[in-house]
Amino acid sequence: MFILKKAFFTIWAVLAMILVGGCDSSDTQQDSDPEEPVWDYADKGPARWANIASEWAICGSGMRQSPIDISVTTEVDIGAWAFKYGSSKMRAQNDSKTIHLFVDTGSSIAVNEKTFILKEIHFHTTSEHTFNGVVSPGEIHFVHESSDGEVAYVAALVQVGNENKAIATILSELPAEPGDPIEVDLFFNAFDFLPESKTFYRYDGSLTTPACTEGVTWIVLQNQLIMSSTQINGLRGIMGLNFRPVQPLNGRTISQN
């Protein structure tokens, strides 16, 4: 009988150790989950991005980073390109770093018969790209992705002039405070956000925010979009200054059509 009691006690002790060990392991796992790396355009700004997280090291070591200064270009046959933007509803989000406009599926660009779907539009003040070292007061990015995951950005730099009617229709709808995306009760066509002339520069670069992933096709429009100083200041008042400085070209070719 004593032996049976001892065996019974031993079994329960082992089970208790397993249960406690399992709980401890779960708690430890939960406690050790890494937090999402935090970045911004101030104390944790572009000069520090490469050191914030190991997966962002390419922000400092990459050889094909964006943005760049566009000065020396090569005229080449870039092939067939087409903007196929249409009317869409949108969701707007202030994520504390920029204003995103998420669009319905249906707008795209065609690059040598390959389709890149427009996913979103967002804003920067001042410009990220520069022309011959000259900074513009703003820049708009049109983010596209192909079915196999390739990314293409269209960039339109902004210069001060008359009020932009397309921007005027959405400016009052943009969320002033950070939060989740909100539905905007209007239709807009991203094509109206582009300058009249669609000639452009093209180069291979990266995302301009962490993780600074390379392999991005950049199409930077040669002509700038006109916005009033009031509209530009309105965007800057919501976002603040949110640009990454230009990066070394490192021998890359900038082509133009």
For residue 183, being part of any structural domain is answered with yes
| Domain shared by 149 and 233, yes or no | yes
| Domain shared by 5 and 83, yes or no | no
Q: Which amino acid is at 212?
A: C
Respond yes or no on whether the N-terminal peptide bond of residue 105 is cis (omega within 30° of 0).
no
pTM: 0.86
| Domain shared by 90 and 141, yes or no | yes
Residue pLDDT, tens place only, 21-74: 443 433 333 444 468 899 999 999 999 999 999 999 999 999 999 999 999 888
Distances (CA, A) of 162 to 131, 134, 254: 21, 20, 30
Residue pLDDT, tens place only, 103-141: 998 999 998 889 999 999 999 999 999 999 999 999 999
Residue range(s) defining the domain that contains residue 13? 1-33
pLDDT score for 83: 94
For residue 89, being part of any structural domain is answered with yes
Structural domain count, the chain: 2
For residue 40, being part of any structural domain is answered with no
DSSP assignment of 37-101 equals: P---SSTT-GGGHHHH-GGGTHHHH-SS-S--EE-S-EE-----EEEE--EEEEEEEE-SS-EEE
pLDDT score for 3: 40
| Domain shared by 61 and 18, yes or no | no
Predicted confidence (pLDDT) at residue 87 exceeds the cutoff of 80: yes
CATH number at residue 111: 3.10.200.10
For residue 41, being part of any structural domain is answered with no
Q: CA end-to-end span of the chain, whole Å?
A: 93
Distances (CA, A) of 30 to 17, 19, 52, 80: 20, 16, 22, 51
| Domain shared by 55 and 165, yes or no | yes
3-state secondary structure of 195: coil
Residue pLDDT, tens place only, 186-204: 888 999 999 988 999 999 9
How far apart CA 70 and CA 176 sit, in angstroms, is 33
pLDDT score for 117: 97
CA atoms within 13 A on the CB side of 145: 9
